[in-house]
Amino acid sequence: MIVEAKPLYPKLADKLENLQRWIRKKKDGQLRNKKYVISVLYQLIKDVKFYLLINKMPTELKKEFVKNKLSRSEQYWYEILFPQWFMKEDKYLPTWKQKLMADKFADDDEYREDLIKLVKQQNGGTCWRYILDLSMATDIIINSETGRPICVQYTTNTEEYTNEKVEKWREISFYYGINCTIFVRIYPKNSENPLHALANKSLEVSNTCSNYHCAVYDVR
């Protein structure tokens, strides 16, 4: 995979070699119980293989395949954000490698899965990746049936460190050129259906976002 990527996407190959060196330095058995290290690498390998595959296709075939097989959020990931990630220096790569190895990465699978179901019920599309969360200040990409993809970061921790998180989110979004993005503070104690409110707000912004939208919302 690295050999295949190197002549066409040398910076992608560099990223993969960086991760390969990191893994090779680990002792035998050290990764056995590191659930998220394995999950991140497995998902990344799948994305790299898929990215290399679709970019071998003739232009018209690729356009038809992407349009028919991928949601607009998935298209945004493969065509814009994934290349942005491997082309740019990932300032948070050393940090998230340490967090993954120290089991300090928290992933709210159930919350996210319920959100994805709610968006699909309204004919929207989604895309979720570990890299989005770890490096790009994005918990999930969401698009309405006819709207554009938006990057969504949400938190239920509405008191502690919120201002720092918002500033970090703005900085990272600007760095990766993410034009349509929202930061949502969820107040679950004040709402019977906070996930419904989050899904509805995301879909609403997807429908109305034009060239640039970077805003913080409270969901109560």
What value does the mean pLDDT take over residues 74-82? 97
Residue 137, pLDDT above cutoff 60? yes
pLDDT at 203 over 70: yes
Query: Can you give the residue range of the structural domain that contains 132?
Result: 109-219
Q: Taking a C-beta distance cutoff of 8 angstroms, is the pair 101, 37 a contact?
A: yes
CB-count exposure of residue 109 (10 Å: 0-12, 13-18, 19+): exposed
Indicate the pTM of the whole model: 0.93
Which of 81, 101, 121 is a domain's end point?
101
Helix or strand or coil: residue 23? Answer: helix
pLDDT > 70? residue 49: yes
Packing angle, helices 59-69 and 35-54, rounded to 10: 140
Strand partners, 140: 152
CATH number, domain containing residue 166? 3.40.1350
The pair of structure tokens assigned to 195 is: 């996930």
Residues 149/178, Cβ–Cβ less than 8 Å:
no
pLDDT for residue 34? 86
User: What average pLDDT does the segment 106-123 reach?
Assistant: 88
- Do 126 and 178 belong to one domain? yes
Q: Are residues 113 and 213 in the same domain?
A: yes
Same domain, 125 and 204: yes
| 64 and 17 both lie in a single domain | yes
Residue 190 has pLDDT above 60, yes or no: no
pLDDT of residue 25: 84
Beta strands in the chain (DSSP E): 125-127, 140-143, 150-155, 180-186, 213-219
Model confidence at 112: pLDDT above 80: yes
Listed residues 72, 101, 130: the one ending a domain = 101
Tell me the pLDDT band of 101, cut-offs 50, 70 and 90: confident
β-bridge pairing 140-143 and 125-127? antiparallel
Is the CB of residue 203 less than 8 Å from the CB of residue 122?
A: yes
Q: How many CB atoms lie within 10 A of CB 124?
A: 24
Q: In b/e form, how buried is each residue of 154-179, taking b as 16+ CB within 10 angstroms? A: bbeeeeeeeeebbeebeebbebbebb
